[in-house]
Chains A and B, each alone.
Chain A
Amino acid sequence: MADPHHTSSAGEWESHGGESRLRQVLEAGHFAVTAELNAPDSADPKDVYANLTELGDVCDGINATDGSGANCHMSSVACCALMARAGYEPVLQMGCRDRNRIAIQGDLLGAAALGVRNVLCLTGDDVSAGDQPEARRVFDFDALHLLRTAQIMRDQGVLLSGRKLTTPPEFFLGAAANPFVPPQDLRHLRLAKKIEAGAQFIQTQYCYDVPVFEAFMRRARDMGLHEKVYLLVGVGPLRSERAAEFMRSRVPGVHIPDAVVDRLAKTPRKGKREEGIRICVEIIEAVKQIEGVHGVHIMAYRQEEAVPEIVERAGILREKPKG
């Protein structure tokens, strides 16, 4: 497959073309692997590319976070544009915390023009979670408004105002799901609503509790949702019980059962990193067996180098057509 995103002449971008490669992988029935890129606190593109070599070889898509945890990093649109330019398959994370509907639609058009085909539509962590809690929260839209608006732009070829687009964006639209927080018995209803609003793929919050996830999937299957959406389960290696404690107490929406924390606590210090990877691999092996799971989304914060190992050990490495 030729890289459709190379620059042709002095700084001029080729007209965007081609569809989402992530979508092609999922439609072909492969078990997809996506991973999260740690957006740099830097103005240098090299800092975006630094971690990509490892991720790019084993992933079908790479997510660029949008001010995750309400901390400022390089923008997701810019990270995705840089990835697309280098031939990677970016997944643009877009939240509603920092922009109103005018900025959202403008960024969606801009991202599409820069070669972004996959968009993960999020509500976004609140400003209070980050290091600038005094910032104004926007939340003009919720994640479902964002999803439906992107769908309208793509399928109707108009902005929300009804104004016509000369060229509509080509998007493979995604949403998040968090089966691990209350009300757990009703979370599948939120999933159903997101699918109705336009979600074609789902990336879930970190899964450390397989039984809870299984129950969620059972309810989703009862509604036939597993046939309407591609679902990628969020996973990630924990470095230590301290990292686990930090995540479950400070990062919004992360649930880690005591059993997992205890297991890390009981491991001698030198073996903790390995134990964290082993837990992650075990979880992938378990969720892979669940009907309706189409892949995994690996969020290895500051452990990007562990991703290829996890993919290989979990037995989900696939020969990729070179892009």
Chain B
Amino acid sequence: MPGSEWFKNRPRLLEGVYAGSKAALQLLYPLLKRVLPAGFTERVFVWSEEVSKGYLFNCQMCGQCILHSTGMTCPMNCPKNLRNGPCGGVRQNGHCEVIPEMPCVWVQAWRRDAQMGRYGGEIQLLQPPVNRALQNSSAWLNLLEGIDAQQPTGWSAIDLE
């Protein structure tokens, strides 16, 4: 079993897995929803995300995953929770201002985004504020239900112009 760094440095592989999982889940979800009790589905999803994404990405369970738009690197590992790129405090060795022994999440994210195919370049998208109410819920279910795409009314207003 390779360590998670091995996977993290293969963003093309990870984006493929993401795209495949998304397609499969979108296909299967209507059926799952019909046969399984909602509470049970939620628990299974939360548990499997904690295990799989926890291992692969050090997932913080924000419930609104944007990994494919951030070089398959979890932005919630940034101590400042930045969703739109690195702060101005990055050290000259490329490490984090807050945790000196940790490489800056966003330096890694930008490098990996440049290696990606399908979703490469999405790192330039302006990400909306985090919905803190979704903390510890399943990002996959929020995606399938369209919950993670909901934005504050004011935020969406400007995009309609």
Give the interface of A toward B (CB within 8 A): 96-97, 101, 123-126, 128-129, 137, 139-145, 148-149, 151-153, 155-156, 158-162, 176-178, 181-183, 186, 189-190, 192-193, 196-197, 205, 252-253, 255
| Chain B interface helix/strand/loop/mixed | loop
Is B126 a contact of A142 with CB atoms below 8 Å? no
Give the distance to chain B from A200, nearest Cβ to Cβ, in Å.
Answer: 15
Is B157 a contact of A158 with CB atoms below 8 Å? yes
Within the assembled complex, what's the spacing in Å between the Cα atoms of A287 and B100? Answer: 31
* B152 surroundings in chain A (CB, below 8 A): 160-162
User: Does B128 sit at the interface, judged by CB under 8 A?
Assistant: yes
Within the assembled complex, what's the spacing in Å between the Cα atoms of A153 and B126? Answer: 18
Q: Max chain A CB contacts within 10 Å: which of B79, B85, B92, B93? A: B85
User: Does B141 sit at the interface, judged by CB under 8 A?
Assistant: no
Is B104 a contact of A182 with CB atoms below 8 Å? yes
Is B126 a contact of A125 with CB atoms below 8 Å? no
Is B83 a contact of A142 with CB atoms below 8 Å? yes
The 5 closest A-B pairs by CB, nearest first: A162-B153, A178-B88, A252-B89, A144-B84, A160-B154
Give the distance to chain A from B87, nearest Cβ to Cβ, in Å.
Answer: 5
* B158 surroundings in chain A (CB, below 8 A): 148, 151-152, 155-156
Within the assembled complex, what's the spacing in Å between the Cα atoms of A253 and B111? Answer: 20
Is A144 a contact of B126 with CB atoms below 8 Å? yes
Q: How large is the interface on B (under 10, 10 to 19, 20 to 34, 35 or more residues)?
A: 35 or more
* A144 surroundings in chain B (CB, below 8 A): 83-85, 126-127
User: Does B86 sit at the interface, judged by CB under 8 A?
Assistant: yes
User: Does B91 sit at the interface, judged by CB under 8 A?
Assistant: yes
Given A183-B111, A197-B126; A162-B154 close (CB under 8 Å):
yes
For this complex, 28 residue pairs linking A to B, each with C-beta atoms less than 8 Å apart, are A97-B80, A123-B87, A126-B80, A126-B89, A126-B97, A126-B98, A137-B80, A142-B80, A143-B84, A145-B84, A145-B128, A151-B158, A156-B154, A158-B157, A159-B154, A160-B129, A161-B154, A182-B91, A182-B93, A182-B104, A183-B90, A183-B111, A192-B124, A193-B84, A193-B85, A193-B126, A252-B89, A253-B90
Give the distance to chain B from A145, nearest Cβ to Cβ, in Å.
Answer: 5
Within the assembled complex, what's the spacing in Å between the Cα atoms of A191 and B127? Answer: 15
Question: B155 is contacted by which of A96, A97, A123, A152 (Cβ under 8 Å)?
Answer: A152
Is A101 a contact of B129 with CB atoms below 8 Å? yes
Question: B124 is contacted by which of A140, A149, A189, A253 (Cβ under 8 Å)?
Answer: A189
* B89 surroundings in chain A (CB, below 8 A): 125-126, 181, 252-253
Question: A145 is contacted by which of B90, B97, B129 (Cβ under 8 Å)?
Answer: B129
Q: Max chain A CB contacts within 10 Å: which of B84, B88, B92? A: B88
User: Does B107 sit at the interface, judged by CB under 8 A?
Assistant: yes
Give the distance to chain A from B119, nearest Cβ to Cβ, in Å.
Answer: 16
Question: B88 is contacted by which of A145, A155, A181, A193 (Cβ under 8 Å)?
Answer: A181
Is B80 a contact of A139 with CB atoms below 8 Å? yes
User: Does B150 sit at the interface, judged by CB under 8 A?
Assistant: no
* A192 surroundings in chain B (CB, below 8 A): 124
Is A141 a contact of B107 with CB atoms below 8 Å? no
**Besides A160-B152, A193-B84, A253-B89, 12 other CB < 8 A contacts?**
A101-B129, A123-B80, A124-B80, A126-B89, A148-B155, A149-B155, A155-B158, A158-B154, A160-B155, A178-B88, A181-B88, A182-B94
Within the assembled complex, what's the spacing in Å between the Cα atoms of A192 and B125? Answer: 11
* B130 surroundings in chain A (CB, below 8 A): 140
Is B92 a contact of A181 with CB atoms below 8 Å? yes
* B97 surroundings in chain A (CB, below 8 A): 125-126, 129, 252-253
Within the assembled complex, what's the spacing in Å between the Cα atoms of A183 and B109? Answer: 11
Nearest opposing residue in chain A for B160, CB measure = A156
User: Does B33 sit at the interface, judged by CB under 8 A?
Assistant: no
Is A128 a contact of B154 with CB atoms below 8 Å? no
Nearest opposing residue in chain A for B81, CB measure = A139
Within the assembled complex, what's the spacing in Å between the Cα atoms of A139 and B132? Answer: 11
Is A255 a contact of B92 with CB atoms below 8 Å? yes
